[in-house]
């Protein structure tokens, strides 16, 4: 058996597919749905931040997409200047520059996984499975970095002090109240991760018996 055959895994006969159609369609459907959700998530916000400040009684909002920020960015940048926070433009510049291509690649790997009937499917599906955790870890790093690199010359830097705002939930920073929430894009990415996990489970149920049967046949021949 060639290396390519080992990676692709056992072929499913037409008779077997007709006898158990759901068994082989379900993992493909789950992977395909996950890929679609990831692509749709590119159009939606991944993170939303609301900030209540004394000088802005109606509050301020920032909506973070994977590659850009929208909302009251200018106003909050002005507050950041007084607190001593770095500009939003300085944060996650590399991540934002590759985000669209990277997520599209995750979706592409899931579609490629439709043709893999071996344990190698995990290599293609794992990035999409872990993507929400990677996103949260990266976001938490940048939130920590912003809160621990204050410009000491800023008027309110000493009053605020170093801080680490949570990824999600409320926080108090000096006289400012913030509330961070997951965006619909991130919710879709989490759902996609769940679909990938389910796809892996049903993939194993569908193809592991075929792999075991092949190994048994090879052993008997030997």
Read off the pLDDT of residues 157-194 as tens digits, 9 standing for 90 and up. 777 778 888 999 998 877 788 999 999 999 999 999 99
Confidence of residue 215 (pLDDT cuts 50, 70, 90): low
Q: How many domains is the chain built from?
A: 1
pTM of the model: 0.90
Q: Which one has a higher pLDDT value, 218 or 41?
A: 41
What domain range is 208 assigned to? 36-221
Residue 7 domain-assigned (yes or no):
no
Residue 25 domain-assigned (yes or no):
no
Residue 117 domain-assigned (yes or no):
yes
Residue 16 domain-assigned (yes or no):
no
CA angle 170, 91, 183 (to 5 degrees): 45
H/E stretch holding 168 reads none
* pLDDT beyond 90 at 155: no
Residue 195 domain-assigned (yes or no):
yes
What is the DSSP code (8-state) at residue 51? E
Question: CB of 216 within 8 A of CB of 209?
Answer: no
What is the DSSP code (8-state) at residue 222? -
Q: Provide mean pLDDT across the span 41-45.
A: 97
Residue 31 domain-assigned (yes or no):
no
Residue 150 domain-assigned (yes or no):
yes
């Amino acid at each position: 058996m060639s290396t390519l055959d080992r990676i692709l895994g056992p072929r499913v006969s037409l008779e077997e597919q007709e006898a158990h159609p759901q068994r082989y369609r379900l993992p493909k459907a789950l992977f395909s749905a996950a890929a679609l959700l990831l692509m749709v998530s590119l159009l939606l916000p991944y993170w939303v931040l609301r900030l209540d400040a004394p000088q802005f009684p109606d509050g301020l909002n920032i909506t973070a997409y994977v590659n850009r920020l929208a909302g009251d960015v200018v106003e909050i940048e002005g507050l950041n200047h007084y607190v001593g926070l770095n500009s939003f433009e300085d944060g996650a510049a590399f991540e934002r520059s590759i985000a669209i291509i990277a997520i599209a690649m995750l979706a592409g790997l899931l579609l490629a996984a439709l043709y893999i009937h071996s344990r190698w499917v995990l290599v293609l599906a794992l990035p999409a499975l872990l993507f929400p955790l990677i996103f949260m870890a990266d976001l938490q790093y940048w939130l920590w970095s912003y809160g621990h690199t204050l410009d000491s010359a800023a008027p309110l830097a000493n009053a605020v002090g170093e801080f680490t705002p949570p990824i999600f939930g409320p926080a108090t920073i000096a006289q400012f109240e913030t509330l961070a929430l997951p965006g619909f894009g991130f919710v879709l990415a989490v759902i996609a991760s769940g679909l990938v996990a389910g796809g892996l489970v049903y993939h194993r149920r569908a193809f592991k018996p075929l792999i075991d049967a092949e190994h048994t046949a090879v052993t008997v021949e030997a």
